Amino acid sequence: MNNSLRPVLVLFVLLTVITGGIYPLVVTAVSQAAFSRQSNGSLIEQNGKPVGSALIGQQFDAPSYFWGRVSATAPNPYNAQNSGGSNLGPTNPALADEVKGRIAALHDADPSNTASIPVDLVTSSGSGLDPDITPAAAAYQAARVAKARGLPLDQVNALIAQNTSGRQLGIFGEPRVNVLKLNLALDAMKPMH
């Protein structure tokens, strides 16, 4: 029995050292060398301090800021520990009520806006953490933000264009606007009146 147990224990210790120590260290070293920003959470910094991540949305609800997709994490919005969709189906009355409430909030924030509301402003993403909105969702909010900040609409639209990312590798995904980056660019323009 002792002769057969020794190779098993040696193999166990060897594999533990390789898979539990050496492999994670090599992967960490390679990721830090080749993809430092991404492996550290794609942090967005302002004045040398992290203010958020480009990968996780943040709650903005003041009229002077662009609003992101609705977060499906409860009770705190954009809480990565509670990531997940609402799982409400398209025929579920609870989803219809939530969407109606979101539409009402958008109309209350900008009663003069009669444009069609982009779907990403009234529905959450699969993770509930989406940091991006479509360029159409940003354009829908541009007049409200421009008015609240006392900026010309053309200037706000130009800022949206500057902060719009295209498809990845030119073919994957859709154009998108990172809400945190756009709002930080707005704050850098000039103080609100």
pLDDT tens string 5-57: 888 999 999 999 999 999 999 999 998 888 887 787 778 888 888 888 888 88
pLDDT at 101 over 60: yes
Asked if 34 and 28 touch (Cβ cutoff 8 Å), the reply is no
DSSP bridge pairs for 43: 53
Q: What is the DSSP letter of 76?
A: S
pLDDT at 71 over 80: yes
- For β-strands 49-53 and 43-46, DSSP reports them as antiparallel
Dist. CA 54–CA 38, nearest whole Å: 10
| Both tokens assigned to 184 | 């930080």
Asked if 35 and 59 touch (Cβ cutoff 8 Å), the reply is no
Kindly list the domain boundaries of the chain, sorted by start residue: 1-40, 43-189
pLDDT at 191 over 60: no
CA torsion, ordered 153, 157, 158, 162, to nearest 10 deg: 150
Q: pTM for this one?
A: 0.79
Asked if 134 and 176 touch (Cβ cutoff 8 Å), the reply is yes
DSSP bridge pairs for 49: 46
